[in-house]
Amino acid sequence: MKSGKFSLLLILINLFILIPLDINGCTTAVISGSASRNGAPILWKNRDTGYLSNKIIYIKESPNSFVAIVNSTETSGRFVYAGLNGEGFAITNTVAYNLPKVEKEVHDLEGQIMSDALRTCSTVDDFEKYIKKNLGKSLGSWSTFSVIDGEGGSTLFEVHNNGYKRYDTSVSEKKYFVVTNFARSGEKDEGAGYLRFEQATKLFSEIPMQKIDHQSIFQKISRDIGNPLVKHPSLIDLKAQPSTSPLWIHSKNCINRPSTAAAVIITGKKKGDLNSIATLWVVLGEPITSIAVPVWVEAKSSPVQLHMGKTAPICEESLRIKKIIHPFSEGFKKNYLNISKLVNKDGSGFLRDILETENKIFSETAEFLKVKHSPDEFAEFQTKMAEMALNTLRKIK
């Protein structure tokens, strides 16, 4: 190889190393009560990760017990990726690739930070105190954290080891923040997730003010397979597509991606309402292959369908369905999605069944929450909803 070509190869390799792989490229939002349907703050996270087997666990702790999403190998609750505690404090995160990073310092402890916060914090201000106290090279943060609390707080923190910026949703014109993989306070035009940010921002803008809720986010945003630069067929378009003719899209830059392991929406407590209950809703698996189920700290447990075994039963079914729409395993081919399996002219698309069951779960849960319940009643109901979801997924072929 000539020296000039060799030098060019080295430059290209170095450039590739410096480009964020965007594997952990989550898409999230923090929404104030003034923008939500029921007046309570909301958190949303599409979790993107190389670890596709996830679970929901309940951790009995002091002073605060909590429910959280974790990798399926995690049992201690010391590394979590979104969660809710009994005080109504909840937290999610995304990696922010354009925040300052010192290579010799500690990194990748965001899961531990969130676990600590769920165990010890009751309010947004408590979390800020925690960050201030622990700033330094051992903090291990290169991330944004979205936080809500039982007092109506809804805030975005952009945190690196040696500093942070706080943004309350009250300063936002829309009263919410959409977040992908760049920080507002970070280096301009750096980071990742700009296409997902643009698409999610557009979709949120289409939901009228004070109409945002868990159902609209799951069904209009979390499962979105659009791209702001490349026209993908809509669900209406797909109704004219025969199931026997595969229709492929490259979905890596969509909000719902092959690397999306779960979607979590936490609907917070309503400020001033002593009877208000915070709910963690989870779609375990790639959102278009699974169904939302409610979980409560008050239940003092997680449904077996969301945590039992090496792979939780709902996650196992979702991963099976995932192979139907992502049949390729070779290299970058795994990023291609056969959308004719979701909706088609023949009526054999499985998205209809997913949405019918999910809407039933939403409706029954709304009725259930109209009155007070004991821990056993919460546990029994969330298990019933999880079993309903699991039965639907098992029927998809």
**6 in a domain, yes or no?**
no
Question: Per the domain annotation, does 341 fall within a domain?
Answer: yes
| Structure tokens, 44 | 């949303």
Determine, yes or no, domain membership for 309. Answer: yes
- pLDDT tens for each residue of the chain, 397 residues long: 444 443 333 333 333 333 444 556 899 999 999 999 999 999 999 999 999 999 999 999 999 999 999 999 998 999 999 999 999 999 999 999 999 999 999 999 999 999 999 999 999 999 999 999 999 999 999 999 999 999 999 999 999 999 999 999 999 999 999 999 999 999 999 999 999 999 999 999 999 989 999 999 999 999 999 999 999 998 888 999 898 899 999 999 999 999 999 999 999 999 988 889 999 999 999 999 999 999 999 999 999 999 999 999 999 999 999 999 999 999 899 999 999 999 999 999 999 999 999 999 999 999 999 999 999 999 999 999 999 999 999 999 9
Q: What angle do CA 228, 233, 234 make, to 5 degrees?
A: 90
Question: What is the rounded distance in angstroms from the CA atom of residue 182 to the CA atom of residue 162?
Answer: 17
Residue 169 lies in a domain: yes
**If DSSP codes are grouped into helix, strand and coil, which group holds residue 48?**
strand
Q: What is the pTM of this model?
A: 0.94
**CA neighbours closer than 13 Å in the CB half-sphere of residue 168:** 11
**Amino acid identity for residue 12 in this structure:** L
CA 290 to chain centre: 13
CA distance 361 to 384: 10
In a domain, 86, yes or no: yes
Range of the domain at 307: 21-395
Q: What is the CATH number of the domain that holds 336?
A: 3.60.60.10
Could you tell me if residue 128 is inside a domain? yes
**Parallel, antiparallel or unpaired: strands 176-179 and 248-250:** unpaired
d(CA 345, CA 313): 31
Flag whether 2 is in a domain.
no
Give strand ranges (E) for the chain.
27-31, 42-48, 54-59, 66-71, 82-85, 90-95, 142-148, 154-160, 163-168, 176-179, 248-250, 260-267, 279-284, 292-295, 336-338
Six-digit token string for 232: 């993908």
Total of domains in the chain:
1
End-to-end CA, the chain? 52
Question: What's the pLDDT at 272?
Answer: 87
Torsion from C-alpha of 295, 296, 299, 300, nearest 10 degrees: 100
Q: Which helix (H) or strand (E) holds 321?
A: helix 313-325
Classify residue 150: in a domain, yes or no: yes
- What is the structure's pLDDT at 6? 39
pLDDT value at residue 55: 98
> What's the helix, strand, coil split of the chain in %, to 5?
35, 20, 45
pLDDT of residue 22: 54
Reported as half-sphere exposure (CB side, CA atoms, 13 A), residue 309 has a value of: 10
Rounded CA gap, 313 and 355, in Å? Answer: 19
Contact (CB, 8 A) for 65 and 50: no
pLDDT at 25: 86
pLDDT of residue 209: 86
Residue with structure tokens 């899209």? 249
Dig out the tokens for 359 from the structure.
């809407």
CA dist., res. 23 & res. 322, Å (int): 18
Q: Please give the pLDDT value at position 7.
A: 39
